[in-house]
Amino acid sequence: MFMPKRNLRIVTQDVPIIGICEACNTQFKSFDVDEAERIVKAQFDAHECEPLGASQTAVRIVREATSTTAKQKRWWWIAFWTALATATALMWPWDWAGW
């Protein structure tokens, strides 16, 4: 069975720090304020991935296919604010029509 490369993804930067193994979706947490990231990395290094079942593999594939990158998020924000500014600029002359 194919196992993706083990990689630790840190999900939150605030305490508790939460990390997820991208290969088997195991979750790691640490509530330690000073050394939380080091503890999560140690937990990740100590665990052994178990092969994903067919349903878990399908979930991982869908999640990866639908995840939005930072570049895509930035593009959506620019498109949203541009559309809002355009709509506002087009409506502005009619806002003062009743005065």
19-28 confidence digits (pLDDT tens): 988 888 888 9
pLDDT score of 7: 85
Q: pLDDT grade, residue 4 (50/70/90)?
A: low
Q: pLDDT grade, residue 95 (50/70/90)?
A: low
Q: Decide if 19 is inside a domain.
A: yes
pTM over 0.75: no
Tokens of 21: 């193994």
Q: What is the mean pLDDT of residues 5-11?
A: 85
Write out the residue range of the structural domain in which residue 36 sits. Answer: 1-52
Q: pLDDT grade, residue 78 (50/70/90)?
A: very high
Give bridge partners of residue 18 from the DSSP assignment.
29
Query: Do the Cβ atoms of 9 and 28 come closer than 8 Å?
Result: no
What is the greatest pairwise CA distance in the chain? 72
Using a CB cutoff of 8 Å and minimum separation of 24, what contacts does 22-29 make?
A: 23/49, 24/49, 24/50, 24/51, 24/52, 25/52, 25/56, 25/60
In total, how many domains does the chain have? 1
Q: Decide if 45 is inside a domain.
A: yes
Q: Decide if 30 is inside a domain.
A: yes
Q: Decide if 64 is inside a domain.
A: no
